[in-house]
């Protein structure tokens, strides 16, 4: 082993033993003969930073970066040194580059958010804090003291508190003028739903089978299926069954089934087996959308004019960029939509069964419902639910979103504005709208 290798091993050994003084001494000795050694420069620079010498740390780290550009650790440490030295613009540049080179290093984005906060750029800091917290917690990290590295605990706690306070202010600013317009009673349960969403209040689900993925609205009857008398408008939908079915058959018989697409839009690499199972052939859950995330598909509506006109007459849930979701839902033989939960109990899902062969069913909260052609069923999809087609032919239903019938019109208006605001904020952070 040559002298440099011996010094490097000795320095590492002291560092492992928790003796930074001796480790720094060995690294300094190494730098006499190997002035561009990145490991030594980073260690000694961070020791200097720990002693309150940001200028010396910056000099050493800049030397390391000149010797080895695009080194994520050097950029991260340089960002910390620039920040300590009050050079916040340079700190931001270094940290953004480090984060781009090593996106899995969430502590770098946490540092970046701290720099933005120090620079008085609160909105930008909020978005970076929120994005990195969500990314960590989706991996089971930063959810408690036990899942947070000791050195990050205080920064993470600060970030969580910062995000909660800032988001609360943003969303309450949406609700407050609506409270003035509609009255406190109209916004009370919406505010409670927001508190649950932000983690300020326990959900206290009325039924343990409910697990909304996005927004839980308290005080609503908890039931897998809704009584028909709560939605008298279902009869007009049912009366239109023959006309709607005729248009469905035209879609299914068209060349290449034009306009029909997979219901699930899975990201690249996603495992479809989490959502669908097949019996004798690959499963397929297809859809012909009239509305998708609240956006009308004009071409599909033009192809089914009777159905489109009917939909415009119904009290569907309308939330900009979110709802309604309305389509012909088509299950091929043997396809099983596996158990899952919906996003919010503020809306319900209505099925108008159009083509239902034997041995097809829906299960909500463990309660099985066999579709009957022309007979609507309405359910709360925040209960675990699944559906299957165990027949040898295609099953098709018209699916649409409607407001929970136990909400007032004013509550629907307030919820709509709140969800739009939450979705817009989430998209700004590069996240799914219903996060």
Q: pLDDT confidence of 14, banded at 50, 70, 90? A: confident
> Is the per-residue pLDDT at 431 higher than 90?
no
Measured CA to CA in angstroms, residue 71 lies from 42, 77, 240 at distances of: 11, 10, 65
Q: What is the pLDDT of residues 182-238, one digit of tens each?
A: 999 999 999 999 999 999 999 999 999 999 999 999 999 999 999 999 999 999 999
Measured CA to CA in angstroms, residue 392 lies from 76, 254, 255, 358 at distances of: 59, 21, 22, 9
Q: What is the pLDDT of residues 302-346, one digit of tens each?
A: 999 999 999 999 999 999 999 999 999 999 999 999 999 999 999
- φ/ψ bin of 293: left (φ > 0), alpha (ψ from -120 to 50), beta (otherwise): left
Buried/exposed 217-249: b ≥16 CB within 10 Å, e otherwise: bbebeebbbbeeeebeebeebbebbeebbebbe
pLDDT at position 273 is 79
Q: Evaluate whether 45 touches 61 at the Cβ level (below 8 Å).
A: yes
Angle formed by the axes of helices 38-50 and 20-33, nearest 10°: 140
pLDDT at position 1 is 53
The DSSP bridge pattern shows strands 295-296 and 326-331 to be unpaired
Q: How many CB atoms lie within 10 A of CB 6?
A: 12
pLDDT at position 30 is 83
| Structural domains of the chain, with CATH | 3-163 (1.25.40.10), 228-264+272-406 (2.60.120.330)
Measured CA to CA in angstroms, residue 280 lies from 262, 286, 324, 386, 389 at distances of: 19, 17, 33, 19, 12
What's the CA gap between 353 and 335, in Å, rounded?
A: 17
The DSSP bridge pattern shows strands 285-292 and 360-364 to be unpaired
What's the CA gap between 307 and 241, in Å, rounded?
A: 9
Token pair belonging to 172: 């309450």
Closest CA to 128 of 172, 163, 98: 163
More confident residue, 56 or 433: 56
Q: pLDDT confidence of 281, banded at 50, 70, 90? A: confident
The residues with which 372 forms a beta bridge, in sequence order, are 375
Q: What is the pLDDT of residues 140-178, one digit of tens each?
A: 999 999 999 999 999 999 999 999 999 999 999 999 999
């Amino acid at each position: 082993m040559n002298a440099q290798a011996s010094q490097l091993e000795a320095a590492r050994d002291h560092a492992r033993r928790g003796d930074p003084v001796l480790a720094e001494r060995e690294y300094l000795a190494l730098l006499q003969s190997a002035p561009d050694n990145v490991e030594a420069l980073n260690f000694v620079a961070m020791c200097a930073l720990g002693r309150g010498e940001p200028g010396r740390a910056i000099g050493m780290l800049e030397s390391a970066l000149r010797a080895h550009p695009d080194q994520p650790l050097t950029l991260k440490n340089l960002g910390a040194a620039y920040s300590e030295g009050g050079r916040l613009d340079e700190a931001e540049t270094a940290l953004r580059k480090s984060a781009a080179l090593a996106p899995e290093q969430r502590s770098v984005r946490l540092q970046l958010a701290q720099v933005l906060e120090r620079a008085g750029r609160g909105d930008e800091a909020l978005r970076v804090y929120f994005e990195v917290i969500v990314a960590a917690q989706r991996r089971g990290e930063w959810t408690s003291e036990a899942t947070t590295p000791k050195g990050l605990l205080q920064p993470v706690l600060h970030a969580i508190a910062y995000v909660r306070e800032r988001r609360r202010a943003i969303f309450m600013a949406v609700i407050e003028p609506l409270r003035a317009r509609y009255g406190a009673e109209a916004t009370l349960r919406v505010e409670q739903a927001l508190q649950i969403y932000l983690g300020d209040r326990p959900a206290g689900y009325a039924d343990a089978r409910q697990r909304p993925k996005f927004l839980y609205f308290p005080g609503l009857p908890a039931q897998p299926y809704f009584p028909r008398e709560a939605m008298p408008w279902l009869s007009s939908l049912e009366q239109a069954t023959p006309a709607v079915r005729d248009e469905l058959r035209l879609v299914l018989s068209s060349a290449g089934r034009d306009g029909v697409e997979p219901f699930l839009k899975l990201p690249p690499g996603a495992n479809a087996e989490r959502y669908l199972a097949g019996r004798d052939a690959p499963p397929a859950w297809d859809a012909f959308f009239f509305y998708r995330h609240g956006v009308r598909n004009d071409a599909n509506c033009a192809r089914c004019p009777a159905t489109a006109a009917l939909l415009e007459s119904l009290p569907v849930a309308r939330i900009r960029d979110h709802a309604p979701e309305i389509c012909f839902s088509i299950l091929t033989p043997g396809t099983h939509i596996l158990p899952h939960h919906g996003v919010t109990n503020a809306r319900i899902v209505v099925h108008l069964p159009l083509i239902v062969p034997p041995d097809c069913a829906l299960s909500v909260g463990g309660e099985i419902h066999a579709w009957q052609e022309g007979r609507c069923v309405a359910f709360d999809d925040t209960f675990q639910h699944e559906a299957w087609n165990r027949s040898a032919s295609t099953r098709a239903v018209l699916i649409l979103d409607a407001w929970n019938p136990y909400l007032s019109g004013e509550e629907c208006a307030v919820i709509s504005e709140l969800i739009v605001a939450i979705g817009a904020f989430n998209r700004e952070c590069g996240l799914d709208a219903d996060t």
